[in-house]
A and B are shown apart, each in its own frame.
Chain A
Amino acid sequence: MSNSQADHIRRAVAERAGRTFPAKVADWIRDRPEGGIAVMFCIAQILCIAGALMFPGEFRYLLPANIAVTLKSIAPLGIMALGVGILMIAGEYDLSVGAQYSFLAIVCATVSNQLLGDISEEHASAAAPFIAMALVLTIGALIGVFHALITLRFNIPSFITTLGGMLLWKGATLLYHGASALRFKPTEPFRTIFGGEIGVIHASIIWFSLFAIAFYFLLHHHRLGNHFYAVGGNRNAAVAIGIDPARTKIIAFAIAGFMAAFSGVVAATRVGSIQPGGGLGMELQAIAACVIGGLALNGGRGSILGIVLGTALVFTIQDVLLLLRAPAFYFEMFVGSLIVIAVVLNTAIRRSKA
């Protein structure tokens, strides 16, 4: 199989494999879309830890309670952002995930409560919350497929389809349940599986990690992941080479819907109740986390590590501002600036390389 004409390439590859570790890290930062954000994340962590060690009384960053709260708050947005990010890599948007998050959490709680899944019921059912969750995860995926079919059948931008979807599912939440909060205190073992804690580690962060690992393998090592990149990066090329863009995009939409539903249920289990308007704005936060993590707005570029770091960085900033007792609007100002800085940084790194 080998031939001598390829020897110079083999030598170059071997040379690159033999680089020193710092050189490899430097190249990784330069080459990867999440490289810039990884550096920013590390700097932010070093500054925070240094600050916490210098002023342990005032800046309680390293307190277990603070770590626990931060990790807990990362999970719902992170789970949602994984789905949104995969869809963005495949070249489409989903603005309706925030509305789906609330709608499907309420459907889950209602169905579960009706099946005697509430912990205070006399003959409480252990299976009820699982059944309800399976139902809403399916509905979430189907909503994604529904958005995909409209987008692809009529060849309209998914931005529009899911903007309509956002309003539709927001309205459906109020139609189905009204504007009041809904109690969701599921029975065991559901409660422990999705809302338990081991030390500072909440169940939701474990689920986020599991999904991140699963999607890492799907996106970077599975054939389907390669097709997501191909379809998002150059749709015509994907068609020319025999990839079905409709099928690929439908799967990506379904993943986004599924993850929105999962994120809604996990957040509801943690809080114990659901506000019908709770997911509003989360779709933009999820897209923001993805963009900060190096995903291209027009698709074809990005990574799971980027999505995770993007989400983590957003919440690190939120946490720091909370610890400094800054007013809430500072958070939005910071995240807003961060989006622009991250994209400028990524573009600059790419330009210097070309």
Chain B
Amino acid sequence: MSEPRHALRHPQKPAHIPVDRPTEGIRPEETPLYEARKIVKRYGSFVALNNMDFHIGRNEVVGLLGDNGAGKSTLVRMISGINPPTSGEVFINGKKTDIRTRAESEASGIETIYQDIALVDSMSITRNIFMGREITGRFGFMDHRKMEEVTIDILGSAVQISGIDDPRKEVGFLSGGQKQAVAIARAVHFKRNILLLDEPTSALSVRETEHLLGYVRDLKKEGTSSVLVTHNLYHAFMVCDRFVVMSHGAKVFEARKEDTTIEEVTDHVIRT
């Protein structure tokens, strides 16, 4: 932390920070839950992900770090099947799997909390939670009573956010933090193997953030691995077991928590 501060105070003496080169990173020791190899994602001539290797182990929380535009959200959207890669391979439990739609990632047990929340303002909390996964009876008609019952349960358990007491309330009338809580509650309810959290704490209060990070730790004990995308290195250090730093669509640093320090990780995030 001291180096960059120093540089900020004395701009006439720019500190020399060498730019990181892409790194191979850590090889998984056992068969990971999820592994992506040599992922390339192009948008026209722009390369958003460049030969990226990434894996999520069992009972592990991975911190995905990097400055804005490093490609973190692109990687998360790739893992969750919304933006399929241009080339590269994906393995689920060591088995090569093609994930090109959200339905396919859902089948692999991947659940995501998106940066832009992904809720429909004009729909009720219950309908948002079960959007696309409605509990239906015969002929596809929805079981409103059951969905509401489950909603009440998960609103109470997953992330306790004060002020939500009506599962029929329109999401548009909730505060930013409450909306995020609904998105988190939804993902937590449907998660099976892997939970991806893309900047989940940006709209949360300090207390709500503590609660969420605690929840991520609890999930690990229950066997759900997570990927936490964040700008806040302190949050990352509170829960993550391994850190991956990205820059310009590639991995530039990777270390297990016990092999690194917050200073070292910060240093790599800053060098871009």
Residues of A within 8 A of B (CB): 1-3, 5-10, 12-13, 16, 31, 217, 221-224, 226-227, 229-230, 233-234, 236-243, 296, 300-301, 353-354
The CA of A347 and the CA of B172, in the complex, are separated in Å by: 13
The CA of A226 and the CA of B140, in the complex, are separated in Å by: 11
A233 lies within 8 A of B120 (CB): yes
Contact status of A6 and B132, CB under 8 A, knowing A237-B119, A237-B120, A300-B123: no
B127 lies within 8 A of A10 (CB): no
Set A224, A243, A301: member contacting B131, Cβ < 8 A = A243
Contact status of A2 and B153, CB under 8 A, knowing A8-B165, A221-B141: yes
Distance of B108 from chain A, by nearest CB (Å): 12
Q: List 23 A-B contacts (CB under 8 A).
A: A1-B150, A3-B157, A5-B160, A6-B153, A8-B165, A9-B152, A223-B136, A223-B141, A229-B120, A233-B120, A234-B118, A236-B116, A237-B117, A237-B118, A237-B131, A238-B131, A239-B102, A240-B82, A241-B133, A243-B132, A296-B122, A300-B122, A353-B173
| Pairs A-B, 3 closest by C-beta atoms | A6-B156, A12-B165, A233-B120
Contact status of A234 and B165, CB under 8 A, knowing A223-B136, A229-B127, A240-B114: no
The CA of A6 and the CA of B150, in the complex, are separated in Å by: 10
B36 lies within 8 A of chain A by Cβ: no
B109-128 contacts to A, CB under 8 A, are: 112, 114, 116-123, 127
B152 lies within 8 A of A242 (CB): no
Distance of A16 from chain B, by nearest CB (Å): 7
Residues of B within 8 A of A (CB): 80, 82, 101-103, 106, 112, 114, 116-123, 127, 130-134, 136, 139-142, 144, 148-150, 152-153, 155-157, 160, 164-167, 170, 172-173
Distance of B256 from chain A, by nearest CB (Å): 31
A224 lies within 8 A of B140 (CB): yes
**Chain A residues whose CB sits within 8 angstroms of the CB of B116 once the complex forms:** 236
The CA of A256 and the CA of B148, in the complex, are separated in Å by: 31
Contact status of A239 and B82, CB under 8 A, knowing A226-B131, A229-B127: yes
Set A31, A233, A241: member contacting B102, Cβ < 8 A = A241
Contact status of A230 and B112, CB under 8 A, knowing A1-B153, A5-B160, A238-B132: no
A226 lies within 8 A of B134 (CB): yes
**Chain B residues whose CB sits within 8 angstroms of the CB of A223 once the complex forms:** 134, 136, 140-142
Contact status of A12 and B142, CB under 8 A, knowing A233-B123, A237-B118, A240-B112: no
A5 lies within 8 A of B132 (CB): no
A242 lies within 8 A of B102 (CB): yes
**Chain B residues whose CB sits within 8 angstroms of the CB of A16 once the complex forms:** 166
The CA of A229 and the CA of B142, in the complex, are separated in Å by: 14
B132 lies within 8 A of A241 (CB): yes
B132 lies within 8 A of A242 (CB): yes
The CA of A293 and the CA of B232, in the complex, are separated in Å by: 47
The CA of A353 and the CA of B174, in the complex, are separated in Å by: 11
Distance of B110 from chain A, by nearest CB (Å): 11
**Chain A residues whose CB sits within 8 angstroms of the CB of B173 once the complex forms:** 353-354
The CA of A353 and the CA of B173, in the complex, are separated in Å by: 8
**Chain B residues whose CB sits within 8 angstroms of the CB of A227 once the complex forms:** 131-132
For A8, the closest partner residue in chain B by CB is: B165
Distance of B106 from chain A, by nearest CB (Å): 6
For B77, the closest partner residue in chain A by CB is: A240
Distance of A89 from chain B, by nearest CB (Å): 9
**Chain A residues whose CB sits within 8 angstroms of the CB of B136 once the complex forms:** 223
**Chain B residues whose CB sits within 8 angstroms of the CB of A243 once the complex forms:** 131-132
The CA of A2 and the CA of B154, in the complex, are separated in Å by: 9
* Residue with the greatest number of chain B CB neighbours at <10 A, chosen from A8, A239, A240: A240
Distance of B103 from chain A, by nearest CB (Å): 5
B167 lies within 8 A of A9 (CB): yes
Distance of B104 from chain A, by nearest CB (Å): 9
B102 lies within 8 A of A240 (CB): yes
A12 lies within 8 A of B166 (CB): yes
**Chain A residues whose CB sits within 8 angstroms of the CB of B167 once the complex forms:** 9, 13
Set A3, A9, A10, A241: member contacting B118, Cβ < 8 A = A241
A242 lies within 8 A of B156 (CB): no
B123 lies within 8 A of A241 (CB): no
**Chain A residues whose CB sits within 8 angstroms of the CB of B101 once the complex forms:** 242
For A354, the closest partner residue in chain B by CB is: B173
The CA of A46 and the CA of B96, in the complex, are separated in Å by: 69
B153 lies within 8 A of A3 (CB): yes
**Chain B residues whose CB sits within 8 angstroms of the CB of A8 once the complex forms:** 156, 165
Contact status of A230 and B140, CB under 8 A, knowing A240-B112, A301-B122: no
The CA of A8 and the CA of B122, in the complex, are separated in Å by: 25
For B101, the closest partner residue in chain A by CB is: A242
For A239, the closest partner residue in chain B by CB is: B82
The CA of A237 and the CA of B130, in the complex, are separated in Å by: 12
* Residue with the greatest number of chain B CB neighbours at <10 A, chosen from A2, A229, A233: A233
A5 lies within 8 A of B102 (CB): no
B166 lies within 8 A of A230 (CB): no
B118 lies within 8 A of A240 (CB): yes
Distance of A13 from chain B, by nearest CB (Å): 7
The CA of A22 and the CA of B120, in the complex, are separated in Å by: 30
**Chain B residues whose CB sits within 8 angstroms of the CB of A5 once the complex forms:** 156-157, 160
A234 lies within 8 A of B141 (CB): no
